[in-house]
Amino acid sequence: CVLLDVQAACQDATVTQELLKEGFHRDLLVKVELGAMGEDVGGCAVAARTRLPPGIYVDPYELASLQQHNLTKAVLIPDVIDVEAPEYLATDLLVLLYMEPDPRCSHCFRAALPVHGRYHRPAEESEDALVVLKSPEVLICCCDNRLSVECWKPAEVEAPCSDKNVGPCRWYSVTHKPAYEESILQVPVGLRQHSSLVCVVTLLATVLCSSLILAAVCKYGHFS
């Protein structure tokens, strides 16, 4: 009976993630409800660790700007990201997203992170590429509190407990129940049968713009 009670308490955490907006530029909203386990996390840091597939990325310059205004706190691994790379040349990205208490719900935490879809190869039929985003892992870091060993297990995370800490802290993870196992991001892609038309239009536009620039230089330019 004691074992069943412990398992029931440990399985009380719920994670929900949503992709807001449409198109290439989205907001990833993560919500965590710790339930009965929330009674032991007073004064602790709660984070969500999620792995972004190659089809989606975080702009480190945008993230740095948001962190300066205390709008988002996150750690990117790796911290150097090629924002211009297409999906087929990119790699996975690990994100540790620090969460804030939700004032509308006790034992609840939430955080939002802007994410962007990468360009994909042209498709044969579908005008959308599907990017699968798995449910994140719930992590907690406590400097002075002791967590229940039945619910929380040590996690291999090399990151500070918050943006105010310098060195890495001891993080713990919990087995939780995701509201959805995965989220699907639909990224618009071009069609292969349109490639000839796109090449012709691009060439004509380039020739037209180059001609206009050359004409303006010849008319208004001053040559010695």
- The domain spans of the chain are 13-190, 192-223
pLDDT greater than 80 at residue 193: no
Q: What is the pLDDT of residue 158?
A: 73
Q: What is the pTM of this model?
A: 0.75
Confidence of residue 112 (pLDDT cuts 50, 70, 90): very high
Range 136-149 average pLDDT: 71
CA-nearest of 35, 42, 41, 36 to 15 is 35
Contact 49, 130 (CB under 8 A): no
pLDDT at 8: 44
Q: Print the SS3 string covering 74-111.
A: EEEECCCCCCCCCHHHCCCEEEEEECEECCCCCCEEEE
pLDDT tens, position by position, 12-64: 678 888 888 888 889 999 998 886 655 556 677 888 999 999 999 999 999 99
Place of tokens 């412990």: 6
Average pLDDT value over all residues in the chain = 79
pLDDT one-digit tens code per residue, 60-100 = 999 999 988 888 888 888 888 999 999 999 999 999 999 99
> Widest CA span of the chain, in angstroms?
95
Q: What is the pLDDT of residue 157?
A: 77
β pairing state of 100-101 and 56-57: unpaired
pLDDT > 70: percent of the chain: 76
Q: Which is nearest to 160 in space by CA: 98, 109, 110?
A: 98
More confident residue, 171 or 5: 171
pLDDT score for 141: 81
pLDDT at 16: 87
**Which pLDDT belongs to residue 148?**
60
- Residue 208: pLDDT above 70? yes
In this prediction, residue 85 carries a pLDDT of: 92
The pLDDT of residue 150 is 64
CA atoms of 20 and 185, how far apart (whole Å): 10
Please classify residue 9 by burial: count the beta carbons closer than 10 Å to its beta carbon, then call 0-12 exposed, 13-18 middle and 19+ buried. Answer: middle
